[in-house]
């Protein structure tokens, strides 16, 4: 009887030993499934002109994808490109021009244009210097601020001024469109060329002088997941969402045009 009891005890111990790894494997599978279905913390590098609208879009995306959180880093597209090349940890990139994005093909997945924009002349509220057309910016008495040539809005500005054969000598060249807008808001400039959507964010402080479509430039905003992302699937999902109806509605409400 004692021998039988010993044998039973040995069998029980061996059976328990076999169940442990099976249970552990099952736990790992559940963790993997949860990771796939659950959210992630995504870092999005985005052009400065998207600051306001992406705060709204980000909240909508987080609501649609419970468990996912978005952290945005806004700057001039050229600054964002430099961060990507230096290996800054991020998941998605959205620039204000295709030129900058095209230069990062080795670091990004396929890009999708999610929106378009146009330029306006931002002037202090009430337009005290009576700036009505692009040609007025060539007045040497006018303090004009533009974005630097390497910034997308700076290139767009140079394009529209060059097409009209206008020579404008800015009092400063800024690193992004929001810096240009700020100079006008603070009264440090009489005028500056910004995106239409940026001027709309400061309606209490600046007026927007329209530039006719025939003289204007169309800015395109491509978005792409970064190849170095640790959350590749979620990054691609966010880029796809930006092209969907909900995001498009948010962008259009902010004044952006359909791609």
The contacts of residue 121 (CB under 8 Å, 6+ apart) are 131, 134, 137, 191, 192, 193, 208, 209, 211
Is 177 inside any structural domain? yes
Number of C-beta neighbours around residue 56 at 10 A = 14
- Judge whether residue 17 has pLDDT over 90: no
Looking at the fold, whether 211 and 131 belong to one and the same domain comes out as yes
Residues 171 and 141 in one domain: yes
Looking at residue 38, what is its pLDDT?
53
* 227 DSSP 8-state letter: T
Q: Is residue 29 part of a domain?
A: no
- The overall average pLDDT reported for the chain is 89
The answer on 98 and 60 residing in a single domain is yes
Q: Residue 3: what pLDDT?
A: 40
The CATH number of the domain where 191 resides is what?
Answer: 3.40.190.10
CA angle 200, 201, 207 (to 5 degrees): 50
Q: Which of 121, 123, 89 is nearest to 107 (CA)?
A: 89
User: At residue 35, does pLDDT exceed 80?
Assistant: no
- Percent of the chain's residues with pLDDT above 90: 85
- Looking at the structure, tell me whether residues 81 and 152 fall in a common domain: no
Domain of 173, in residue numbers: 118-218
Q: How confident is the model at residue 245 (pLDDT cuts 50, 70, 90)?
A: very high
| Rounded CA separation 131/210 (Å) | 10
Please indicate, yes or no, whether residues 112 and 229 belong to a single structural domain of this protein.
yes
**Domain for residue 53, yes or no?**
yes
Distances (CA, A) of 128 to 94, 122, 170: 36, 12, 18
Q: 78 and 200: one domain? A: no
In a domain, 174, yes or no: yes
**83 and 143 within one domain:** no
User: Are residues 207 and 141 located together in one domain of the fold?
Assistant: yes
| Whether residue 226 sits in one domain with residue 213 | no
Same domain, 168 and 229: no
Of 208, 164, 202, 169, nearest to 185 (Cα)?
Answer: 202
Q: How many domains does the chain have?
A: 2
Rg (CA), the chain: 27
Residue pair 160/119 in contact (Cβ under 8 Å)? The answer is: yes
Q: 6 or 87, which is more confident? A: 87
Q: Is residue 171 part of a domain?
A: yes
Same domain, 229 and 245: yes
Which tokens go with 228? 């170095």
Output the pTM of the full model. 0.84
DSSP 158-226: HHHHHHTT-----SEEESSHHHHHHHHHTTS-SEEEEEHHHHHTTTTTEEEEE--GGG--EEEEEEEEB
- The answer as to whether 154 is a domain residue is yes
């Amino acid at each position: 009887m004692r021998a039988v009891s010993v044998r039973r005890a040995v069998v029980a111990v061996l059976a328990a030993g076999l169940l442990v790894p099976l249970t552990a494997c099952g736990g790992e599978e559940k963790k993997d499934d949860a990771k796939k279905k659950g959210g992630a913390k995504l870092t999005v590098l985005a052009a400065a002109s998207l600051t306001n609208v992406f705060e709204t879009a980000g909240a909508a995306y987080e609501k649609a994808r419970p468990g996912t959180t978005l952290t945005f880093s806004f700057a001039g597209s050229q600054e964002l490109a430099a961060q990507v090349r230096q290996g800054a940890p991020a998941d998605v990139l959205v620039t204000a021009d295709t030129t900058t994005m095209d230069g990062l093909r080795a670091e990004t997945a396929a890009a999708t244009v999610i929106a378009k924009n146009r330029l306006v002349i931002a002037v202090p509220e009430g337009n005290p210097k009576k700036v009505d057309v692009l040609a007025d910016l060539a007045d040497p008495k006018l303090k004009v601020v533009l974005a630097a040539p390497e910034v997308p809005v700076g290139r767009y500005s140079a394009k529209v001024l060059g097409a009209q054969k206008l020579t404008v000598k800015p009092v400063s060249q800024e690193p992004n469109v929001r810096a240009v807008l700020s100079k006008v808001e603070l009264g440090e400039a009489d005028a500056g060329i910004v995106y239409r959507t940026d001027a709309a964010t400061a309606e209490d402080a600046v007026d927007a002088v329209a530039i006719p479509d025939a003289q204007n430039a169309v800015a395109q905003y491509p978005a792409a997941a970064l190849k170095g992302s640790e959350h590749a699937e979620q990054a691609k999902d966010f880029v796809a969402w930006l092209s969907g109806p909900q995001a498009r509605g948010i962008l259009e409400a902010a004044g952006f045009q359909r791609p």
